[in-house]
Amino acid sequence: MAVIQEGLSESEVLKKDTASQLEEEIEKEKSVLLDSFIQIYESAPIGYLLLNQRGLIISVNDTLCKLLDYSCAELFQVPFVGIIQRDDQRKFLEIYPDLYKDPLGKKLSLKLLKRDDEVFWGEMVGNHIDNFPGTKEEKVLLLGVIDITEQQKMAEQNQAVEKRFETLFSQSATGIAIADIKGNFIKVNNRFADIIGYIPEELTGINFREITYADDLEVDEKLNAEMISGKRDTFEFEKRYLHKEGYPVWIRLYSSMVRNIFGDPLYGIVSMVDIREQKDIQQQLEAANQELEEQNYLLREEYRIQDDILQSLSEAERIGSFGSFVFDVEKSKGWWSQNQYELHGYKENEIEPGYEVHLQCLHPEDRVKSELVFKNILETDISQGSFEYRIIDNHKKLRYMLTVYSVERDENGKALRITGMDQDITERKLTEKLLDEKHAQMQSLLDNTNDCILLCDKNGRHLLYNKAYAAIMKELLNIEMKPELQPHKLLEDQKAIAFWDSLHKRVLGGERFTTEYNHKLPDDAVLIMEVSFGPVFEDGEVIGFSEISRDITKRKLVELELANHKEHLEEMIQERTQKLEEQKTDLENFNRLFVGREFRIKELRDEVKELKRQIANLEQKASQDA
């Protein structure tokens, strides 16, 4: 029994002992929960970090360090904003006070920078942790960081695909419309609307039944119902739409249904061709059956080709080319998705997937690298990774592949299962190779001109320059050129810096112009340079500028010499003309006294012509010397 303390009843002492025991149990439970949290925090497959109110990193787990290629010590007490790409820093600084105050339910996507400045897209969600051990903060912000780099790349690719589709859709010579399963037009192109006298905006939201000729509606309804129910995939037939002005328009309509992965209908794609002219010919020339059959055959072939083009376009516009796989390490068996088989040139289930099959498909030069990756998975504790390699598929076609994988391990760290995804990056690799070749060709072309040529971004950083530009920068300013340098900012003369800033401001404003400037050499000689600026546009916006410079000192000196020579010649002509006038006056006076006045004047005129001819020759010779 508990000893009853002096002044306390037995029940009060019991309550006090019970409360003390509960507090001890709560503290033990807190300790267990904290240990569990720390264990989960350190071994989690996603990145975690703790931030204080000022945004300093006070803790980070190994997963995030590996994602960013830093050690945990390097990130400790570092401002989180320091590893955010410059474009997103303002965004983070603006939202952080509210995020720290109330993080629940908020997501934040930022571009982070790895050690090598490679961009890493991270999606972050947060929560508060109170009185975290090792800190004096009452509460800290826990951020979970998920790698969404590939999703962002896929989103950018998807945007490019949608842009190309939109171009094809809007510029197609065939009328195309997209409608929901109720028959309401979601989107129509210009050609579709033009055939029946509308503009696309007028048809958006309109049901196809409202503009279908009454006699054709029953057949149209039946075919649409069969396609929606799955009895048919597509249909085509000739029907009449009502023109905006009320008269019927004959068209040939082709309709197909887009379904989700479960086979449920999502929306229909309708294409149509204006066949009014064919119908007129048919009505007028019913007797010419053979000719009509030939025309119908050609028309059906045209529809077939259009259908093939649409099918090919649909296949080509798929977002990426991916295949997934799972490999059981212990059983040495694998599973491939349908597209994984296709990437390797096989029909689904044509072969039994496994590591040996993977090795057989590998390019001979990449087998050693792949085996080393597999060995590294088995012999280390790596949890995820990626690598590029080549395969030769079943059709002897070379493909470049990117594999991203994760490793499931048991409690002892032994690899149990490898799950991953393969992406066909052949097109990207070939494009990169072509771009490298084109860049080398362009650089060679630039280096073979005496003009100083460079390309800058909108901040004045050099992106591209030729040998002539690098040489003159070294000779005149003793500056070693490298990409993204702003050499005019290295000048000591503030007036010179302001001069170049003003030129950059003009060209970034969209102005194309040529100007001259003087550069004083160490020996007090003056170098006269001519520089031409031109803005570089993308989607109507100035994203940079080009600059072409050349030394015009000799030209300017020749122009000055020609000007002086011309002035001297003009003085000689003026002086000679004055003398001739004086002689002419003397002759006229003389001729008044003596005969033969006309003959002497003619001689003087001939002499003047000869002098002018000599002056012209001198001017021509001076021009040739210049």
pLDDT in tens, 424-456: 888 888 888 888 887 777 777 677 777 888 888
pLDDT of residue 4: 45
What confidence score (pLDDT) does residue 186 get? 92
pLDDT for 287-344, tens place per residue?
Answer: 667 766 776 777 777 767 666 653 543 354 356 677 888 888 888 888 888 888 888 8
pLDDT at 448: 75
Task: Give the residue, 422 or 20, on which the prediction is more confident.
Answer: 422
DSSP state of 209: G
User: Degrees (nearest 5) of the Cα angle 53, 56, 60?
Assistant: 115
452-487 pLDDT per residue, tens: 888 888 888 888 888 888 888 887 777 787 767 777
CA atoms of 334 and 419, how far apart (whole Å) = 10
**Of residues 219 and 147, which shows the higher confidence score?**
219
Which of these ranges, 195-204, 356-365, 530-539, has the smallest mean pLDDT?
356-365
Task: For residues 113-138, give the mean pLDDT.
Answer: 80
Q: What per-residue confidence (pLDDT) applies to 591?
A: 58
CA 587/CA 40 separation, integer angstroms: 121
Is the pLDDT reported for residue 583 higher than 80?
no
Predicted local confidence at residue 606, as pLDDT: 80
* pLDDT classification of 279: cutoffs 50, 70, 90: confident
Question: What residues have CB less than 8 Å from 244, skipping those under 6 apart?
Answer: 196, 197, 198, 202
pLDDT given at position 117:
84
Highest mean predicted confidence (pLDDT) among 211-220, 332-341, 478-487, 511-520: 211-220
* Residue 497 clears pLDDT 90, i.e. is over it: no
Provide CB contacts within 8 A for 526, sequence distance 6+: 518, 519, 520, 553
Please state the rounded mean pLDDT for residues 193-208. Answer: 93
What does the pLDDT average to over 572-587?
Answer: 76
Task: Please check the confidence at residue 376 and state whether its pLDDT lies above 80.
Answer: yes
- pLDDT exceeds cutoff 70 at 16: no
Give CB contacts under 8 A, 24+ apart, made by 404-411. Answer: 404/150, 405/377, 406/45, 407/377, 407/382, 407/383, 409/381, 409/383
pLDDT at residue 594, rounded to an integer: 53
**Residue 100: what are its φ and ψ, rounded to 5°?**
-65, -35
Which strands make up the sheet holding 248-259, listed edge to edge? Answer: 185-188, 175-180, 265-274, 248-259, 234-242
Helix, strand, coil: what percent of the chain each, to 5? 50, 25, 25
| pLDDT reported for residue 33 | 52
pLDDT > 70: percent of the chain: 85
pLDDT at 284 over 90: no
Q: Which long-range contacts (CB under 8 A, 24 or more apart) does 402-410 make?
A: 404/150, 405/377, 406/45, 407/377, 407/382, 407/383, 409/381, 409/383
Q: Residue 316: its pLDDT value, please?
A: 41
pLDDT of residue 599: 64
On the question of pLDDT at 228 being above 60, the answer is yes
Question: What pLDDT does residue 313 have?
Answer: 37
Ranking 225-234, 339-348, 490-499, 601-610 by mean pLDDT, the lowest is 601-610
Mapping DSSP to helix (H, G, I), strand (E, B) and coil, where does residue 236 land?
Answer: strand
Report d(CA 193, CA 216) in Å as an integer. 19
How far is the C-alpha of 554 from the C-alpha of 527, rounded, in Å? 9
Mean of pLDDT over the chain: 81
pLDDT top residue among 365 and 155:
365
- Name the band, by pLDDT with cuts 50, 70 and 90, for residue 17: low
Average confidence (pLDDT) over 522-551: 87
Task: Name the most confidently modeled range: 41-50, 195-204, 368-377.
Answer: 195-204
Q: How confident is the model at residue 252 (pLDDT cuts 50, 70, 90)?
A: very high
pLDDT band, very low/low/confident/very high, at 194 (cuts 50, 70, 90): very high
Instruction: Give the pLDDT score at 2.
Output: 42
Q: Which of the two residues, 593 and 583, has the higher pLDDT score?
A: 583
Contact, 499 vs 517, CB < 8 A? yes
Share of the chain above pLDDT 90, in %: 17
Residue 317: per-residue pLDDT: 36
Query: Model confidence at 154, in pLDDT bands (50, 70, 90)?
Result: confident
Q: How many CB atoms within 10 Å of residue 605?
A: 12
How does residue 3 score in pLDDT terms, banded at 50, 70 and 90? very low
Q: Which two tokens stand for residue 125?
A: 């969600």
| The pLDDT value given to residue 42 | 66
pLDDT at 7 over 60: no
Q: In this model, does residue 109 exceed pLDDT 90?
A: no
pLDDT reading at 601 higher than 70 = no
The pLDDT, as a whole number, for residue 437 is 80
Does residue 12 carry a pLDDT above 70?
no
Mean pLDDT of 146-152: 83
